[in-house]
Amino acid sequence: MNLSRLSSIKTKADDLAKLTMDKQLRLAVTGLSGAGKTAFITSLVNQLLLGAENHQLPLWQLAREHRFLGSKRTPQPHLHLASFDYQGGMDALQSQPPRWPSPTHGVSEIRLKLRYKPQSLVWRKLNHTATLNLDIVDYPGEWLLDLPLLNMNYAQWCEHIALSLKDSRKAQLAEQWQAMAQALALNDNADESQLADIAQHYTDYLHQCKAELGMHHIQPGRFVLPGELAGAPVLAFFPISPELANAKVTNKNSNLALLIKRFEYYKEHVVKQFYQQHFVKFDRQIVLVDCLSPLNSGHDSFCDMQLAVNQILHSFNYGQSGVLRRLFSPKIDKLLFAATKADHVTPEQHQHLVNLLGEVVAEGKRHVKFEGINTEIMALASIKATQTGKAQLNGNTINAIKGILQNDVDSQQLTTLFPGEVPASLPKHTFWQQQGFEFSPFQPPQANPYQALPHIRIDQAIEFLLGDKFK
Ligand SMILES: Nc1nc2c(ncn2[C@@H]2O[C@H](COP(=O)(O)OP(=O)(O)OP(=O)(O)O)[C@@H](O)[C@H]2O)c(=O)[nH]1
Ligand SMILES: [Mg+2]
């Protein structure tokens, strides 16, 4: 065999190796609004970009074995999507005083190319490196809660909202838009400006539920974060009394007909399109849950969070029949539930947080496990904003956390506090009576461009979500 033939065989073998060793993974970062998705993605990207020299990832086997060669940002696959603003997030964390990355107003995407030495001896002997293209998608948490709408018609949705108004605090906030909706002549020819006006009051009500009651169940999600749909007629609808919504439409140009039409349009062109474009072809999923803020906000907020998280999980109907089955290709084979902001509690409470999250997501997890999906629960802090310290309580020295509270940004004063015990299971009546948990947001740590962000167990999350891909 002559030399040129040998070299051509070698090139082909190399090409084949490259083909075999280039992998692709799309990660769904899921969570309610404020759960910490953007902070998680920012920190994950940061750990991976600085990863090769970063000694902060001992629980990630690839890094521990020094097989991780590094990663870089490469062009994202979907050109019509905004790019995830990693630099914006890092600029905020590096500013004086440091700020958290801004809340999310639209969908964005980022791709990282991770290069590593494969574990297999054969590949290593051949001195081959391999690549994993990791795509991560960020989006506003509010939009996620629209998924259940796909299984409802307008009258059913009105019924659903009517049920939620059994909560007296919500009912109180709802008085104005409800009165306006009741006064609407449903069978008269549609009055666009009247509909827009009532929809605006309904939107104000949703904002109030979020800000004043700490509620997560905000439907439709686009009303509070409309993105490019701000002012569009598709958002000019609202719920009415379920009995009236069930009435036969006699005038196809009526207010009622238009409300139904807009609701259906919203489902078809906003909700469905969002899920079809962004929620297909995920391989792995992380569900981030902030259990601590609702513990602080009270019983109703906590129950609302639990319901919303499980509803989302139920909606990701990994392999059942129905509309959702057709929307998703149920490829997700690993799902991680993570209790975020674990730096708000002392380390010995992390297990409580894990147990609590286990109970919060129990229903949804059963559902996912039944489909054969590998799940795990952990507590993490994407960006660790506190240190552990000691405090005095009733004459005893106890473990505490120390950091700069968001309220003390001007004075930059360090506070040491004991936030209270995290219940290790769903809180009982007595917990709420004592209101035993204090959650006060902390300023993020001052980021250094040359060092990876401080975190708690993000390496364990990487190991669970990506670890097997580096074999
Ligand atoms: N102490 C601490 N606070 C965190 C951490 N992650 C998030 N937070 C806090 O939670 C807030 C919300 O985090 P985001 O990452 O913006 O939440 P999100 O899920 O992207 O929210 P939406 O974009 O509204 O859907 C931040 O501004 C921080 O105040 C963390 O690891 N530690
Ligand atoms: Mg966000």
What pLDDT digit, counting tens, does each position of 48-80 carry? 999 767 678 999 999 999 999 999 999 998 888
* Boundary (domain end) residue, out of 234, 260, 278: 278
Q: Is the CB of 296 under 6 A from ligand 1?
A: no
SS3 annotation, 113-131: EEEECCCCHHHHHCCCCEE
Are residues 313 and 455 part of one domain? yes
Average pLDDT over residues 32-47: 95
Please indicate, yes or no, if residue 7 is contained in any of the structural domains. Answer: no
Q: Is 392 found in the same domain as 301?
A: no
Contacts of 324 (CB under 8 A, 6+ apart): 147, 150, 151, 315, 316, 317
pLDDT tens by residue, 166-224: 999 999 999 999 999 999 999 999 999 999 999 999 999 999 999 998 888 889 999 99
Cβ atoms within 10 Å of 426's Cβ, excluding its own: 15
Determine if ligand 1 sits within 6 Å of the CB of residue 100: yes
CA separation for the pair 328, 325 (Å, rounded): 6
Residue nearest to atom 16 of ligand 1 (CA): 103
Report the separation in Å between the CA atom of 31 and the middle of ligand 2, taken as the mean of its atom positions.
9
Higher-confidence position of 256 and 123: 256
Do 122 and 79 share a structural domain?
A: yes
What is the rounded average pLDDT of the residues 83-96?
Answer: 97
One domain, residues 380 and 391: no
pLDDT, tens digit, for every residue of 261-274? 999 999 999 999 88
Strand partners, 335: 285, 375
Q: Which of 248, 278, 308 is the last residue of a domain?
A: 278
pLDDT (mean) for 258-263: 97
Ligand 1, atom nearest to 382 Cα: 31
Is residue 137 assigned to a domain? yes
For 108-151, the pLDDT digits (tens) are 999 999 999 988 776 666 668 899 999 999 888 778 889 889 88
The domain boundary, picked from 247, 278, 309, lies at 278
- Predicted TM-score (pTM) of this structure: 0.89
Average per-residue pLDDT for the chain: 88
The pick from 30, 86, 287, 340 for probing ligand 1's pocket by mutation, whose C-beta has the most ligand atoms within 8 angstroms, reads 340
Same domain, 456 and 363: yes
Most confident of 2-6, 176-180, 317-321: 176-180
Q: From residue 411, give the alpha-carbon distance in Å to each of 85, 387, 407, 415, 444.
A: 29, 18, 9, 11, 15
For residue 177, the enclosing domain spans 148-278
Based on the fold, state whether residues 181 and 292 are members of the same structural domain. Answer: no
2 within some domain: no
When mean pLDDT is compared over 32-36, 138-142, 339-343, 363-367, the highest value belongs to 339-343
Residue 9 in any domain: the answer is: no
**108: how many CB neighbours lie within 10 A of its CB?**
20
Residue 87 lies inside a defined structural domain of this protein: yes
Q: Is residue 294 part of a domain?
A: yes
Domain co-membership, 268 together with 355 = no
| Distance from residue 38's CA to the centre of ligand 1 (Å) | 7
* 132 in the same domain as 169: no
Number of domains in the chain: 3
199 within domain boundaries: yes
Ligand 1 within 6 A of CB of 403: no
Distance 256 CA to ligand 2 centre (A): 35
User: Measured from the CA of 104, which atom of ligand 1 is nearest?
Assistant: 23
Residues 179 and 54 in one domain: no
Q: Is the pLDDT of residue 439 over 90?
A: no
Asked if residue 399 is part of any domain, the answer here is: yes
Q: Is ligand 1 within 6 A of the CB of residue 455?
A: no
Nearest CA to ligand 1 atom 8: 36
Give yes or no: residues 138 and 159 share one domain.
Answer: no
Q: Are residues 210 and 121 in the same domain?
A: no
| Residue 162 shares a structural domain with residue 83 | no
